[in-house]
Structure 1
Amino acid sequence: MTDQPGLTRRLSLTMATACGLIAANLYYAQPLIGLIAQSLGISIAHAGLIVTMCQAGYGLGLLFLVPLADLTENRRLILGVLGVGIASSVGVALAQTPGIFLFFCLLLGLGSVSVQMLVPLTAHLASDETRGREVGKVMSGLLLGIMLARPASSLITELAGWRTVFVLSAVAMTAMGVALWRRLPVHRPRPGPGYLGLMRSMAGLVAEHPLLRQRALGQALMFASFSVFWTTTPLLLAGPDYGLSQAGIALFAFAGVAGAVAAPLAGGWADRGHGRRGALVAMTLGVASWGLSHVGAPGTALGLGLLALAGIVLDFGVQANLVVSQREIFGLAPHARGRLNGLFMATFFIGGALGSAAGAFVFSHYGWGPTSVLGLAGPAVALLLRLRARDTEPASAPG
């Protein structure tokens, strides 16, 4: 039950902004892993753990906290989890040893899952006719935050050091928490099983909905590719081939911002029944992006430009597939959207965590070529699985 029915433009904008600021926490460290690793005494081979721990915490939160959105009043839950994120961001900024730093990275990921409570709340507040577009708008804010996180953290680090990034994040999230406290409606889910029953029901949802399994696996493969690219390109750009500074890496990272336009476009496709077609296009773009990254010779202006274009194309494909997939799974069981989203996003971020760790390891030991093969494998396998699943998808699935 929601005390304030409907989704106003102002509320949609507030939720989109909140999603962007909160989700950015998972990506601030991505272009900084070389600097942070050097500062804290972490080897380059293990630097991927900086991103992996954030994503692992996020995955745990998706499995064990996000389902509470189907059990607990949503506004209070969102604000409480956001508070964990704020405190953890301060902890990351103050940490002096690798162990403490990685522990707070894990907690920061856990505290960032309030984003995935806001997304199903948007789906609850929107009408059936506009659900895909409204979720797409909120996802655009989330994705814009992700895309801007990398260049913003690089620029701030260039000016004031990497710890300042997380201090400013805590301040911004605190301000956003006040805005959410003032504007979010109270939403009480319908009575259901307790927490343990809720956890048991998640296994039933996985068994009951093959569409959920297919979409989660496909997006996990896409996001693994995304994480390989954005974890290793800062290392490539700072290396001998390009020799870019943090400011140069920040400008490169701005290329990814263009990918955020995919979310509302993909939501519109899904609302019109073209979800399958949109997903196939998205996965094909993911495959093509890795080919683009190797057209120009390393260290040349052409190589750098095509690498940036590859980032745009990959981001567009990953975000479009995410929105199309979410639109489909939100239609499976409206009363269980929090659990469905938690299962979907947990699988998705497990893929990302594995991609970050594997990408840094392969790059440090074997270089950019084998790393690209690893990145290409994600969308290629996802595309093959989606084509193979054509005859097994339920007739009600859009597209």
Structure 2
Amino acid sequence: MLMSVATGLAVAGNYFTQPLLDLIGRELGLGPSLAALTVTAAQGGYALGLILLVPLGDLVERRRLAVSLYAVTALLLLVSATAPGGTILLAATGLTALTSVGAQVLVPFAVTLAAPAERGRVVGTVMTGLLLGALLARTAAGALAEVGGWRTVYWVNAALMAAMAVLLRICLPRLGGEGRRLSYPGLLRSTVLLLRDEPLLRWRSGIAALSMAAFSVLWTALTFLLVRSPYGWSESTIGLFGLVGAAGALTASLTGRLADRGHAQLLTAAGALALAASWIALAAGSTSLLWLLVGVIVLDLAHKMVLNGNQHVVYALRPEARNRINSAFMTAFFAGGAAGSALTSLVWARSGWRGVCVLGAALSVATFVLWGLERLSMNKENEHATHRSDHGRHRNRVHRADGLPEREEHPSPRP
């Protein structure tokens, strides 16, 4: 439970700016496109942290790594709280996201501590906290900003991150990395080699990137839709949409159990289809609150299904390299989110909500198509592997251990 809360708190810092974009933009003199760059900076910084910092969990003692990252994140949040202009805020946001990957150190930490038959459920529980943090951050940020302004959000988050660093230091067991013989450059190189050597990791990383891009399209553009007619909502009201999305996050533990029972492929396929369907409701949501609510709930649930299916597959690949696998997978995941946010700001400026919905639907359909291509590729590879195995067994039947041909089993005809 502590890990679940800790991951949610860490990731919240990358999302609480979304309902504050209009407020930050007005105070610092930033237009909608420039304000949206704070979201892009957060996701880009997080992706960089996944590349450079998360693999260290296979090399150094994990509790110390997690505690250090949480403490540094708290300090950087203080810089954001006192930022005098957009440039410093953007830089501080990117650096804060870089170190907030302590959450992604805790996910494989929890997987390693769990029994093999319960790993899907454990990952689901930890990811529930992480996803609730991402969603409820919007609600909490909107409420705090309404009371004390957007800077108050950063002050409060800094205090909570500092407190969590202390709790993690007290409560977590020591757990060393399995790759201590590797140097840091060798560790980073081995992460790239995992992508080369594990086709499933490549496929699933691509699927995750597209799904996260579609997810980010919605949550980046939603603020711009809701502050305008016909809605005209305040930041605190916009933040309440985090509660709507939380309905999907609460199913993460359930989908984790389904993955444990062998339904990871079904989760991925059904999630990708539901992701695409959600944009039909979201398109109607430009003027209808009911359809907007339906679309948000379906999209969040679908996104969690795809994510849980992906994680179940990739975490089973190489237990000794779980942090590096998580690094590669989550780097693609959040890079997709950063790309989705950046594209959204451009599409919104040109085509508004309708263009945003077309973009989100296209990314969602691409998610399902990539899953289908993965299944075709892996089935073909399995057929080749079966053929090679059958050929090997045939060779074993007709050759002895010393390489000489075996005698035929049929008796020679009597003279």
TM-score, normalised to structure 1, is 0.93
In 2, the alpha carbon distance for the partners of 1:317 and 1:137 equals 17
Residue 264 of structure 1 deviates from its aligned partner by 0.9
Q: What is the identity, as a one-letter code, of the residue corresponding to 1:68? A: L
Find the counterpart in structure 1 of residue 337 from structure 2: 352
1:40-63 Cα deviation digits (max 9, x unpaired)? 122212222110101111000000
Q: Conserved in 2, the CA contact under 8 Å of 1:46 and 1:357?
A: no
Find the counterpart in structure 2 of residue 245 from structure 1: 234
Q: What is the identity, as a one-letter code, of the residue corresponding to 1:382? A: T
Q: 5 Å matches for 1:361-376?
A: 361-376=346-361
In 2, the alpha carbon distance for the partners of 1:46 and 1:25 equals 19
In 1, the alpha carbon distance for the partners of 2:169 and 2:340 equals 35
1:358-383 Cα deviation digits (max 9, x unpaired)? 11221122211011111111111010
1:32-81 Cα deviation digits (max 9, x unpaired)? 11111221122212222110101111000000000000000000001111
Q: 5 Å matches for 1:211-222?
A: 211-222=200-211
Q: Secondary structure of the equivalent of 1:367?
A: helix
Instruction: Please list every run of 5 or more consecutive structure 1 residues that lacks an aligned counterpart in the other structure.
Output: 1-12
Q: Conserved in 2, the CA contact under 8 Å of 1:139 and 1:263?
A: yes
Root mean square deviation, CA, Å? 1.4
1:30 corresponds to which of 18, 42, 48: 18
In 1, the alpha carbon distance for the partners of 2:377 and 2:197 equals 14
Q: What is the identity, as a one-letter code, of the residue corresponding to 2:268? A: A
Q: What is the identity, as a one-letter code, of the residue corresponding to 2:344? A: G
In 2, the alpha carbon distance for the partners of 1:305 and 1:97 equals 38
Q: 5 Å matches for 1:1-399?
A: 13-190=1-178, 191-295=180-284, 298-299=286-287, 303-393=288-378
Q: Secondary structure of the equivalent of 1:130?
A: helix
Q: Which fold has the larger relative contact order, with Cα–Cα distance below 8 Å and residues 6 or more apart in sequence?
A: 1
1:213-250 Cα deviation digits (max 9, x unpaired)? 11111111111111110111111010122111123212
Bigger shift: residues 314-323 or 347-356: 314-323
In 2, the alpha carbon distance for the partners of 1:174 and 1:320 equals 32
Q: What is the identity, as a one-letter code, of the residue corresponding to 1:152? A: A
Identity %: 41
Instruction: Please list every run of 5 or more consecutive structure 2 residues that lacks an aligned counterpart in the other structure.
Output: 383-415
Q: What is the identity, as a one-letter code, of the residue corresponding to 2:203? A: Q
Find the counterpart in structure 2 of residue 6 from structure 1: none
Residue 192 of structure 1 deviates from its aligned partner by 2.7
Q: What is the identity, as a one-letter code, of the residue corresponding to 1:108? A: T
In 2, the alpha carbon distance for the partners of 1:32 and 1:231 equals 11
Number of residue pairs matched by the alignment: 380
Q: Conserved in 1, the CA contact under 8 Å of 2:275 and 2:364?
A: yes
